[in-house]
Structures are given as structure tokens and as C-alpha cells.
Chain A
Amino acid sequence: MELVLKGFGEVVKTVTFRVRRYDPEKKEMPKYMEYKVPVQRGMTVLDGVLYIKEHLDPSLAARYSCRMGICGSCAMIINGKERLACQTQILELNKDLIKVDPLGNYDTVKDLVPDLNKLFKNHESVKPYIVREEAEPYGEYIQLPEEREKYALFTECIMCGACLSACPTMATDDLYLGPQALAQAYRYIADSRDAGFNERLNLLDSKHGVWRCHFAGACSEVCPKGVDPALAIQLLRGVLSKNVFIKYKQNPAKLGPERASIKEVL
């Protein structure tokens, strides 16, 4: 008998979930497995995945936390496009087959759980915080609303990692900083309180930084928060072009994807 979950509407139809299964600890190739999920009104893809986990196959691994599009943990590729599983209504997809893959351009921890280390390391490397010249803050740093507007859009990032998964440069260049880190670098550079431009320059202006974006725009297309990293990258190009005659020593980038070496480079 079909299980009906509490808190959702009536069962509308049964949908097949085709889920990519892969466990790097087992020496097996990735494979797709199919599960029949009764879809009730209001169910998201994450609910579908959890239904499978609870009632059909407890070995399926997925990552989630807030279930309301805030934490960014549940990003996955759903029917070929990066989306937050908790924000994707199954019925809105209007398909009888739902293909679920983990985010691309990352290693896989297990099944639908990508290893987001690359995302976090790249993010960390661009110094995602306000850099000041004085050692101790001296009080309140005033900022006008117009000054905040310059970077407000880019503060929306929830670090879901979807943009890196969609980015074609990321697929070929292991050392590329990626749309998320570049957008965050711009967010701080554009902040009137920040004085860290020179400290970030070496990394941004490296052979695997700002200039490697081919402006495919896939990052902006998939970003669930409308951050528009592609725009941030073009704005960064403008900033770098205006400062093209600043002299500094540029070290070659180290082989990635681990960016622990970035500290040395900076």
C-alpha cells in the first residue's frame, strides 16, 4: 500500500526518480537507480529524495538542513539543471521521470553529496571579509545606502555551490577560482569600508582568476538566489582594467584543487 506523508496534499501521481548512486569507498562505477515515488501536492524534490531514503532505500545519501532555501546544502542537478532540491516542486517540473545527480565539477562524497572543499577553499582564498589598514577597529564605519547598493546583490550568496557546478571553465581548469569566489571578491572590493584590493589582486589577476571566465553565464542562470556572479566577474574586470598599471609580483598558481597553497601565493 502506498505511504502517504503527513503535511502534504493528496497524491497526484507516481513519479520515477532516477538517482545517481556512487560510493567512492566501494570500487564500483557510478550507476543510476530508479525509485517510484507517490507525489503529493506540495512535495519538493528533497521530499522525494527523503521519501526514498526513509521508505525505499536507506542507503541513499543526500545533504540538507534548513529545507527552506537558506542553507544551500541541498543543491543538486535536477533534470539537468542545478537547483535547490528543497525549493523545487516536483509537480512544477511537470515530468514523470526526475533525474537527480550530485553537483558536477566536484568530487562525490557519496551519492548526492558533493565534496564542496574546492568551493570553500576558493572562497576563503579571496579574503571574504572587510580588510582594514588599522589593526583594531576604531568605531562605527559609516556607509551610505548608495554605497551599499554597489554590492548588495552579491551578499545574497548562500554558498550552495551550484554556480561552480554549472561553470564550463570550472570543468576544465582545476585552478580556476570559480564564480562564487569571484563574486565574493567583488562584493568586498566594492565595499566602501574595505581596503583589501591589493591583497586580493594577485589571486584575481592570476592566470586562473577573473580573466578565465568565458562569460557563458551559466552561473547566473542557475544561481537560486539571483546573485549574478557573471556580472560580478565583468565588474571585476572593469576594476582590474582601471588598475592595470599597479605593479606587484605575480607568482604562478599552484596545482589545485586544494587551495591551501593560496596563503603562500598571497
Chain B
Amino acid sequence: MFLHILNYVFTEHTFGIIILLQGEKMMEDRIIFHIDANSAFLSWSAVNALQHGAPVDFREVPSIVGGNQATRHGIVLAKSIPAKKYGIQTGEPIIQARQKCPSLLVIPPEYYVYMRCNAAMCDIVKDFSDRIQVFSIDEVFVDYTGMEKILGDAQAVAHQIKDRIKNELGFTVSVGISSNKLLAKMASDLKKPDAVTTLYRDEIEEKMWVLPVRDLYMVGAATEKKLAKMGIYSIGDLANSEVEFLKDKLMSWGEVIWCFANGIEDSPVKPGGAIPYVKGVGNSCTIHFDVEDRETAHKVLLSLVETVGMRLRQGAFCAKLVQVSVKTSELKTYSHQRKFYVPTDCTNAIFEEACRLFDEVWKGEPIRHLGVRVSELCGNDFVQLSLLENNYEKQRQVDRAVDDIRIKFGSFSVFRAGFLHSRLSPLQGGIVEDFPAMTSIL
């Protein structure tokens, strides 16, 4: 609209100056929204069902969205508020959840509904800014900087967005407002459902520092434990620690989380973001002999994960959910899945989890076919800044180097030593599920 034209003129004529100004202004003066759909999968399925005449609103009864009831190892992907009252948790096995609440309603995932809801949510948001980044299927970042001169106060507009989504699309969102993406994301988490919360730099102390350190985005169980040993329990404790001390204990990861605790983060809102259009990356293979030992099975998993990891990284995604599926020589199939607390794109991290899942589910029968699949994708924006728990940082560098070599010299130019003299292929081709047109991007 009006602003686009204006922007263009400016950059045409005073390009250098604008860049300079923005560089200086960037950190403090931006206005960023993070819009997060509340219990997205569950409420989206609920609204869709109501629209098609369902007699109950899933949001008002104990209900969960859970992967595939046929395979008994499905886990809870999302839960209603009444289900939460039974102590049901996201990520726990469905059987366990059913024990807590026998009348539990289990709704299968409906990805086409989720994608439609995501697109509809973005359509509304686009009326308020042209700079939006789809971060995951239920999260959008919006750069509202400059728009306040045309559309008005950020908080009032955030309320408008939230209310329009509620009235037109039938589900609620939480909106966080701040001067960077990380704080906006933390803010949307502070109050839900159906809320607008600000978390500007001068509000950090009062609103964020009081929270346990585990609530800081990207801090998982392993980091939490290490921090506890240093006497750091709250986000405030972390923010007020000596950064040199943290670097000494946790290397560069220490500095990253110290910055986060102090609200320092300056990644731009990247328009586009193809995340919701790909629901997952999967890879599976039929093995030309029956696998009867754990070690060989793990090797096959590694060959599958190698490609999955590479595809994830090429798409600039991280995954929150891993699933392993096994088909025995008698064609019995079962699968097992688990959620990562912190999203990852690291081959070794996915591989370790895949092995753990395999070990838990395999009963020792000869195996004919194995599959690994990651889903619940989100952007890798915060991960990229450095990474991760368990010193995955080095492994990430290795991942990147290996990816580069393979892209340049071919898939088989470098492979893990474990595959030398084995009957197995060191990596198996990856498939991007459901949306073949996307393979060119991934």
C-alpha cells in the first residue's frame, strides 16, 4: 500500500543512509509481534469439527490430538484445558493419558486443517504489515516497525489482530510485543489464551527475570541442571551472572543464553519462511537382508538420519518431534515417537533419539524395513546463533562441513567410518512428505 511505495523511494535514493540509520535504530526501536495460536492443533480441529456440525466442542471436554491410534505408541501432541486438569501432558504416550482419563477423546492429527488455519491467520496478519515470518505452523513473527504511523498504536493493533482471528476464524491467539523476536516470543508465552502482552527491555526485570530459568527459550533440562549447580535458578540469576564465568562453564552457549536472559537478540523478521508447507521430513528403507542385531539396526537408522538431518538444515528448519517405525520380516509394523524439549537440526541429536526410541520398541524380531521421520518443524533462527545442549555446537560445525562437501562432491564423497566394509549404504535418499513441489527448496 502507501508505505510500500514510500519505502521503495527512500531506499532508492538514500540507500546508504537508511542502512546506517537502521543499523543504529535496529536493536531498540523495532516493534515486533509474536502471534501464537493457543493449543493450536486441538482448537483448530475443534473449530473445523464444529463448522461441520460436531455436537461437542473438543476444547470443552477432556481431549487430545494424538498420532495414529493404530500404532499403540502414539503420543499426545496437544491437549485441551479439561484434559490438562487430569494431569495429561504433551509428549506422553496416549495409553498413559487414557489411564489418567478413561473418557478421553483422541483426535487424529489433520494436517490439511492446520495448514489452512495457518494460511488464514497469515492472511489476516498481512493486513497489518508486509513483513511477516512464519516461524512454525502456529507461530508468526510480524515486524510492525514504522506501521504505527499509519495504522496506530502497536498494542491497539495487536488487539485488533487477536480479535479478528477470534471472530473470523474461531480460535484464539496470544500476542507478544517487544523490540526483538526473542522477547516477543517470551511475551506471548506470559499470558494465554486470548491475550496481548508487552515485554519491552525496561519490563524484563519485572516480567521475565522472576521466571525459572527453564522458561527461557532454548534452555532445556541439561542446561537447567548445569545452571542449578552454579546457583542459577531464575532467568534473573542468569542475566545478572558474569558473562565470562558462564562462558568459562558453558563455552559460547553460556554467552548466548546470557544474552537471551538480558533480552539481547537482533535477528531480522525474515519474510517468507516455508515452514508450514512442509509437515515433516521422513526417510525409510527396505533392507535387502533381515537385520537381527541392534548394532546393524542403529547403522541403518544413522544412514536414514544423515539425509533427514541434511534436508532439515537445507530448509533452515529445526524439528520438535522424532518418530521411528519398524517393519518386521513378518510384516508387523510398529512405531514410536518422542518430542524434543529444544528443537534441533543436529544429525547426532536426532540419531541418538532415534536409537533410544528403537531400543525401547524393538522386541528382537528380524527387521525388514526401518523409517525415521521428524516433524513439528520450526525456524532455526535462535538455534543458528550458536548451539546447543550437550555441546552439540561442535557437531553442528561438523554437520555443516559434511553438508558442504556432499553438496559439492556428491552424497557419497564422505561418510561415517562405521559403514566401511558393511553391507549397508552410508546414506539413504530422503523424501519430503506430502508436498513434492517443495523438494527443490529443501
Q: Are the chains A and B members of one assembly? A: no
Q: CB within 8 Å of B: which residues of A?
A: none
Q: CB within 8 Å of A: which residues of B?
A: none
